[in-house]
């Protein structure tokens, strides 16, 4: 999806309810006027409980028309943010599975769908298992995923990225499937954190969306010095305006190894566009502007 054309969007939401950036990334998707979201899929962990947060956020902002689909449940864990929607019943997930939805949607709109994955890759992997040629039907797959060279807190020291190693076999399948893949790795995301002034600007906007985001943020906070890292929002921004918020993009031959590391491998790897050098100030101006321009 380009920034200057209305496109078709499908979003996979992961750890909504765990870290805070997932809900704030969904808010980015539903605020950005040039996205046409076809559906939200929930992946990893207690997908039923997670889905209530996504459903409530869509409902209170007037987006009941966007369907939600569940991926397979991998645990029963509950986190503090779940309490925000634990009694919510006004909108529920669809009966179709996340993987079924991804495959059917890609085939219905061949070459038009951008799939954004901001969590562990079970849903995309299950879609590939259903349709091994899924990549032929998708315009782009943009993931918050991986660590290529290092992070802001460990320059030059590559680590395992959470979305990848939480389901290593699924990640290996997705990285090896020949999808039109772009990743935004920890090499970029760890450099972008929400400032107090930016949080205040969102909270003071006073819409149903921004009020909900502030409620979820407070439930997530574990101490006064904690600040959100915008991992997932960078992937959404790349889908919204390809290349605009990164100083460098490289096509690298990537694989996921048995331990869950993302590695460059010129013999076995598939081509992946990797986004480096985030333009923090430009991104934040754009992102906060989208959240506060909406009126619901």
- Fold assignment, 8-293: Inosine-uridine Nucleoside N-ribohydrolase; Chain A (3.90.245)
- H/E element, 239: helix 231-240
Cα 86 to chain centroid distance, Å, stands at: 22
Tens of pLDDT, residues 40-50 = 999 999 999 99
Tens of pLDDT, residues 29-77 = 999 989 999 999 999 999 999 999 999 999 999 999 999 999 999 999 8
Tens of pLDDT, residues 1-28 = 222 233 455 555 556 767 899 999 999 9
Decide if 87 contacts 53 (C-beta within 8 A): no
**pTM listed for this prediction:** 0.94
Tens of pLDDT, residues 241-286 = 999 999 999 999 999 999 999 999 999 999 999 999 999 999 999 9
Q: Where are the domains of the chain?
A: 8-293
């Amino acid at each position: 999806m380009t920034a200057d054309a209305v496109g078709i969007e499908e979003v996979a939401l992961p750890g909504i309810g765990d870290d805070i950036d997932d809900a704030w990334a969904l808010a980015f998707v539903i605020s950005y006027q040039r996205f046409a979201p076809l559906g939200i899929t929930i992946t990893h962990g207690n997908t039923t409980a997670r889905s209530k947060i996504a459903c409530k956020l869509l409902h209170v902002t007037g987006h009941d028309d966007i369907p939600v689909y569940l991926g397979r449940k991998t645990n029963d864990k509950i986190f503090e943010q779940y309490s925000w929607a634990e009694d919510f019943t006004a909108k529920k997930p669809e009966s179709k599975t996340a993987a079924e939805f991804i495959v059917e949607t890609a085939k219905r709109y061949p070459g038009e769908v951008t799939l954004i994955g901001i969590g562990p890759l079970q849903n995309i992997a299950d879609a590939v298992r259903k349709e091994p040629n899924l990549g032929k039907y998708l315009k782009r797959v943009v993931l918050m995923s991986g660590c290529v060279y290092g992070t802001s807190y460990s320059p030059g020291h590559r680590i395992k990225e959470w979305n990848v190693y939480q389901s290593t076999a699924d990640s290996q399948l997705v990285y090896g499937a020949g999808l039109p893949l772009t990743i935004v790795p920890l090499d970029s995301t760890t450099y972008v954190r929400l400032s107090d002034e930016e949080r205040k600007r969102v909270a003071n906007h006073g819409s149903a969306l921004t009020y909900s985001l502030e409620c979820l943020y407070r439930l997530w906070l574990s101490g006064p010095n904690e600040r959100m890292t915008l991992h997932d929002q960078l992937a959404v921004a790349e889908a919204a305006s390809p290349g605009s918020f990164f100083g460098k993009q490289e096509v690298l031959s990537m694989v996921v190894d048995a331990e869950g590391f993302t590695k460059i491998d010129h013999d076995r790897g598939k081509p992946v566009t990797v986004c480096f050098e985030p333009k923090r100030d430009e991104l934040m101006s754009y992102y906060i502007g989208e959240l506060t321009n909406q009126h619901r």
